Amino acid sequence: MQVNGLLKGFIDLVFEHEQRYYVVDYKFNSLGSGDAAYTPEALTAAMLAKRYDLQYAPILAGPAPAAEARLGEAYDYDTHIGGSLYLFLRGSQCRPADDFSTSRPGRLIEGMDKLFLRRRTR
């Protein structure tokens, strides 16, 4: 499996809703025309085919330090990080429930954050 280039990119949007932080990644690729191309199964298949599943773990590590700095000792990953949302904009006229969302276990994200922090402080 080739992973070169998969971890490039930017976080398109971070927002807070009901004291939970979410990361949004806008996708411009077309999965087809009409609602049938944007079913939960089709979105999952597209996510796996493009290996977006490898991208959203480090992306979720993005808002964690800011949330922790803002909330201090009250911060808890599982309570305050809502997950990531992938919005397929070419299917935006289809049913809105068919965007892809996910979250990752707090231990994974916190471990990644420590790994990234160690690299920044060297």
Architecture of domain 13-121: Alpha-Beta Complex (3.90)
**Domain assignments of the chain as residue spans, ordered by start:** 13-121
What is the pLDDT, as a whole number, of residue 90?
73
Taking a C-beta distance cutoff of 8 angstroms, is the pair 21, 81 a contact?
yes
Check residues 91 and 28 and name the one with the higher pLDDT. 28
In this predicted model, what pLDDT tens digit does every residue of 54-92 receive, in sequence order? 777 777 777 877 888 889 999 888 889 888 888 887 766
pLDDT in tens, 32-61: 888 788 888 888 888 888 888 777 777 777
99 is catalytic: no
Residue of 25, 98, 99, 113 marked active site: 25
Beta strands in 1-122 (DSSP E): 13-17, 20-27, 81-88, 100-102
pLDDT of residue 2: 53
State pLDDT tens for residues 91-107: 666 555 445 556 666 77
Please list, in sequence order, all residues whose beta carbon lies within 8 angstroms of the beta carbon of residue 71, skipping any fewer than 6 positions away: 80
